[in-house]
Amino acid sequence: MKTDITYLGLVINVDSSSIEIEVSDDIPSSAPIINGRLYRIGQIGTLIKIPVGNINLFGIVASVSNLPNKLVDSNNDLLPSRGSRYLQVQLVGEQIGNMKFERGLGTFPTINDEAHIVTEEDLREIYGNKTHGLIEVGKHSSSENLSVYLDLPNLVLRHCAVLGSTGSGKSNTIAHILNEILSSYTGSRMVLIDIHGEYSTAFKGKCKTFKINDKDNPLFVPYWTLNFDELSFFLAGRPNGQERPEDKRLREEILKYKIISANKLKAGNVQESFITADSPIPFDIKLMWHTLNREVHGTFSKAGIQEQNRDNEEIEDEGEYKNLIPAKFKPYSLGSSAPFKSKNEMMYAYEQKIYSRLKDSRYNFMFNPAEYCDTNSSNDLDELIRSWVEHDERLTILDLSEVPFELIDITVGIVTRLIYDSMYWGKNEVYTGRNRPLLMIYEEAHSYLPRNEGTHIYGYARKAVEKIFKEGRKFGLGAMVVTQRPSEISETILAQVGTFIALRLTNSSDKNTVKSAAPNNMTSLIDLLSSLRKGEAIVVGEAIEIPSRVRIKEYVPRPNSNDPDLTQKWNQDFECNAENYKKVITAMREQKHI
């Protein structure tokens, strides 16, 4: 009622998504005190309540305006007037009686309906208390005593995005959310793709970290887990979709060696008729290279291409394929007498490229994956996937900081596809799939999930991650993307995001991207992104009861992503000599952190 201390004004205009309110002149102050608490009228992003019978409609203040009233006395002189104050409010949801607040509207206000200030008690009814299925994301920006909760099933299975400029608090937000999940759910499973190696220190004792060359948990992504397009591109630079004679031969060779392995698999044999060049089956790539090398570099006792085979080789030394030592042959004759030069030169370029890849030590995590090399190794693909998603700590961090940049795209794509396939094909098993949901977190996603391909980015990761965002929830697989440049992220991914946690964004194209992708038409809140404080976020979407401005709780210890203390470091004196940078240069050349 108008006599209530919370009375604000009357509705004077209504459309399909917003209303206009004229603030009453009887309110003596723009900052009334209600129940001992100060409330500021007309703050952008604050909530307004419109009672309609037993229904309370809620909206968010989008804009404020003031129009002067021209009042005159008997002498036609203007009288002082503070004018009329107007609020543009975007409607977001309703609460029927004592029922729970729901997004969306079944009833709209009408002209002259009353509008009231939303008090802290009203907010408590909306946000409620922490119950099963909720995690605390932080405190409401209007009250340090009011906790804001996220619905975990919607956050995970409907996917989410954490967005914000450098230094806005993204890493702290991720660390806090993951810690809340770890603290509340003993059966949770999460895999974090960390391309800069920032999170291991923050979750020491709470995670299992895989990293290239790590003594305890080395990261391996075996070459045979790549499909033919990925492997042929990486080995020989074959463009996707191309099928030249040498590509066809390479496909045949890979298929041949995979078929040889089909009845020797540790995880169970596979029928030959089901095997393709894309099947993730171990095979000996060094032996395949050695075979091609003998063909293109061999000399023979006979000249015709049909006669040049191993029975007619002029071989001096078999070489050693496991150590990439090629066979040696008698030099071919320049005349018309034996030994004759090989006629099988079609695969010459591919053989050379494959050899250079196998010799490059940076790719050892792919080509020399210890116990995952081939069928003679101790483990198979089941053990690899299980080591990633099944262990005591529940959080897996795949530290890709030492993965060569040109392999980030393929590596993320392979890991994602393997985990997706395991969830898909095991969707009805008791230990995985729908019965054991899993969350994938993609840090610095703009580096490998762009909307357009570019140098070293060919869409392998993007296509795999898009599949999770489009179909993963049905198999218990959710995803979270984290980026400072949402305008560069795949549109398909952003279109499938159910919850946005947007920290400070200053770039206009990034803000427009969020505004167009965010649900609930919350343009007024999105417009606040450039003015948010560090660690403050706009949260909108399916995981939160009502779009809110939230202060994210600080997590300690912080991920290793903070800025260096510049003034402290620049106040120190350093001595540098000729030996200092030798370790740095060695690390650069070996692609290993000191």
Residue 591: predicted pLDDT: 61
Residue ranges making up the domain that contains 323: 228-361
Predicted local distance difference test score (pLDDT) of residue 577? 75
Which pLDDT does position 593 carry in this prediction? 64
Position 280 in a domain: yes
- The pLDDT value recorded for residue 338 is 86
**Assigned domain for 551 exists:** no
Write the DSSP assignment of 393-432 as a string of letters.
TSEEEEE-TTS-HHHHHHHHHHHHHHHHHHHHHTTTSTTS
The whole-number pLDDT of residue 26 equals 78
How far apart (Å, rounded) are the C-alpha atoms in residues 103 and 7? 23
pLDDT single digits (tens) 203-257: 999 999 999 988 899 999 999 999 999 999 989 888 877 789 999 999 999 999 9
Tokens of 7: 């009375």
**pLDDT for residue 262:** 86
**Per-residue pLDDT at 30:** 67
Domain final residue, candidates 306, 340, 361: 361
What confidence score (pLDDT) does residue 123 get?
82
Could you report the per-residue pLDDT of 265-312, keeping only the tens digit for each? 888 888 888 999 999 999 999 999 999 999 899 889 888 887 788 888
Tokens of 365: 């995590």
State the Cα–Cα distance between residues 123 and 139, nearest whole angstrom: 12
- One-letter amino acid identity for 170? K
Q: Cβ of 238: how many Cβ atoms within 10 Å?
A: 22
List residues bridging with 64 in a β-sheet: 87
CA distances from 588 to 35, 402, 421, 592 (A): 63, 11, 36, 7
- Total domains in the chain come to 2
Residue 97 placed within a domain: yes
Which residues in the chain land under pLDDT 50?
Answer: 79
Q: What is the pLDDT of residue 529?
A: 86
Domain end residue (candidates: 301, 328, 361) = 361
| Token pair listed for 310 | 């191993």
**Structural domain contains residue 18:** yes
Distances (CA, A) of 253 to 232, 244, 260, 278, 283: 12, 14, 11, 12, 10
Q: Is residue 289 part of a domain?
A: yes
Q: What is the DSSP string of 301-337?
A: SS-STTT-SGGGB-EEE--BGGGTB--EEPPPPSSSS
Question: What is the rounded radius of gyration, in angstroms, for the C-alpha atoms of the chain?
Answer: 32
Report pTM: 0.85
Alpha-carbon span 470 to 122, nearest angstrom: 37
Helix 381-389 and helix 405-425, axial crossing angle in degrees, nearest 10: 90
232 and 356: one domain?
A: yes
Question: Residue 219: what pLDDT?
Answer: 93
Q: Do 61 and 9 contact (CB within 8 A), yes or no? A: no
- Residue 260 placed within a domain: yes
Give the burial class of 294: count Cβ atoms within 10 A of its Cβ; 0-12 exposed, 13-18 middle, 19 or more buried: buried
In a domain, residue 174? The reply is no
Instruction: Say what the pLDDT of residue 34 is.
Output: 72
Contacts of 446-455 with C-beta under 8 Å, sequence gap 24+, read: 446/483, 446/484, 446/485, 446/486, 446/488, 446/489, 447/195, 447/408, 448/195, 448/408, 448/409, 448/412, 449/481, 449/483, 449/489, 449/490, 449/493, 450/488, 450/489, 450/490, 451/488, 451/489, 451/490, 451/491
| Contact (Cβ atoms closer than 8 angstroms) between residue 180 and residue 188 | no
Q: Flag whether 84 is in a domain.
A: yes
Q: Decide which of 292, 326, 361 is a domain's last residue.
A: 361
